[in-house]
Chain A
Amino acid sequence: MIHVFSYRDKRYVYDTGSGALHECDARTADYLAGKPTELTEEELAELGALKKAGLLDAPETTARPQKSRFVKALCLHICHDCNLRCKYCFADEGAYHSAREMMSAETARAAIDFLLENSGDRKVLETDFFGGEPLMNLSVVKETVYYAKAEAKKRGKRFLFTTTTNGLLLDDDAIEFLNEEMENVVLSLDGRPEIHDAVRKTVNGKGSFDAVIGKIKKFVQLRGDKHYYVRGTFTARNLDFSKDVLFLADEGFRSLSVEPVVTDIEDLKLTEAHLPQIEREYETLCDEYVRREREGNGFNFFHFNVDLEGGPCLQKRVSACGAGNEYFSVVPNGDLYPCHQFAGDAAWRMGSVFEGITRTDIREKFANSCLFTREKCGDCFAKFICSGGCSANNYHFNGDIEKPYEMTCAMMKKRVECAMHVLAERKSREK
């Protein structure tokens, strides 16, 4: 399958079977899109050569991924409480529709033991400290990290740790620990102060921007070359979110991710009516992104990355995110869920770190789920890049992990096209 698309005055052709991206003129694009166009013999020969080389109209893989039975990642809900009250929080402002509670050190250690014991021959394991706000339970985070490292060493394995934080408790001690131990840190900041403050409020109802910006800047300054993402959320209130991404870049942050909100709240939720504006906004951002990169002042926007040369293998591309099979969420009492977005929903409780996985039927459902079980993905050009989308979003919006949520699909496709344009511009500068 080929996907012909325009970006401003450029024409691109993406071949899903081979994963190759081509740039062409308008006549060739029209021809490949099936519009009545006559090409010269020379032009037809060019297309023929690409087909012969397996870079155009190449057959797509239909091989089902091998089912892994090993666990490799846990999201530890180290604290079901939060020191902010963000309106759009899918986690019920930290409480996950349950009591506000902290994970104990004993439960966290049991989670690490569960991961190690079920990780088979996996050498690299991952644990994400998530909340609520994980820094409200920093002593347990620290204890868990040191325990995990020691136990992994005994078994010839190693951990990669991530923490997601709103930054409010980033003092010198927390900064030093996170910079020393975390492979990646995700810091929540929505962008312009008025946008951030309208939604991300303290317990007392005040905006939190002034309370976190200095701390997050200090953290990033001391982070050096290690990975981090300043991660924001856009809602129906800031459909001009490119301004927020650029604001964050202008504040000196070089690794950014601003995500569409997942909520049902009436004045915040994104609807299909917003899509044209959202798509235009991604293009506005992309134009400026390319311009800054060209001028040597670029930054990294998570969704404008696509590695068509060295990206993941096909096995990874068709096997989706691994939630519910290789990856689980652990809530403070040790219960297991397919991922953080299912946490607290009794229907999706899969067992606990103390008793193991008891709902093998749920695990089987996730283990069998892949790109090819998501029928709607069959004719989508982005399928080997998005891998069928987020199971949790599919479930929450369409009632079935196998039914992709159309809004997410539309935004994904636009971002992938922008990412391909960014890649093409980068390649043209390398010459």
Chain B
Amino acid sequence: MIKTIAKPAEKKITGCGECRSTCQSACKTSCTVGNQSCERVTREQDLEKQK
């Protein structure tokens, strides 16, 4: 038995650079990109919700 828990959504935009600098998030010593979300997608989803 094997079941998929999570898989990446297709990304239409890559490398736009609008996400936060990794080191600014919380720890300043061992921050990782994997803890971040795509801020552009998050922002666009927020705008959708507000409509």
Q: Do A and B bind each other?
A: yes
Chain A residues 370 to 390 lying within 8 A of chain B, measured CB to CB, are 382, 384-387, 389-390
Report the interface size for chain B: residues with CB under 8 A from the other chain: 39
Q: Which of A64-72, A165-173, A206-214, A246-254 contacts B (4 or more CB under 8 A)?
A: A64-72
CA separation between A387 and B19, bound complex, in Å? 15
Q: Does B18 contact A (CB under 8 A)?
A: yes
Chain B residues whose C-beta falls within 8 Å of the C-beta of A393 in the assembled complex: 29-30
CA separation between A72 and B17, bound complex, in Å? 9
Q: Does A239 contact B (CB under 8 A)?
A: no
Chain B: minimal CB distance from A287 (Å): 18
Contact A386 B9 (CB under 8 A): no
Partner of A20, one of B8, B22, B24: B8
Chain B residues whose C-beta falls within 8 Å of the C-beta of A186 in the assembled complex: 26, 28
Chain B residues whose C-beta falls within 8 Å of the C-beta of A149 in the assembled complex: none
Partner of B8, one of A126, A309, A389: A309
What DSSP secondary structure best describes chain A's contact surface?
Answer: mixed
Q: Does A223 contact B (CB under 8 A)?
A: no
Given contacts A72-B17, A260-B29, A310-B37, 15 further A-B contacts (CB under 8 A): A12-B5, A19-B8, A21-B4, A75-B23, A303-B30, A303-B35, A321-B21, A321-B33, A326-B21, A339-B23, A382-B34, A385-B34, A390-B29, A390-B30, A416-B34
Question: Which 3 A-B residue pairs are closest in the complex by CB-CB distance?
Answer: A385-B34, A315-B15, A73-B21
Q: Report A's interface with B, CB cutoff 8 A.
A: 12-13, 18-25, 28, 43, 46-47, 50, 55, 65-66, 68, 70, 72-73, 75, 122-124, 126, 128, 130, 160, 162, 164, 184, 186, 229, 231, 257, 259-260, 262, 302-303, 305-317, 320-323, 326-327, 339-341, 382, 384-387, 389-390, 393, 408, 411-412, 416, 419-420, 423-424, 427
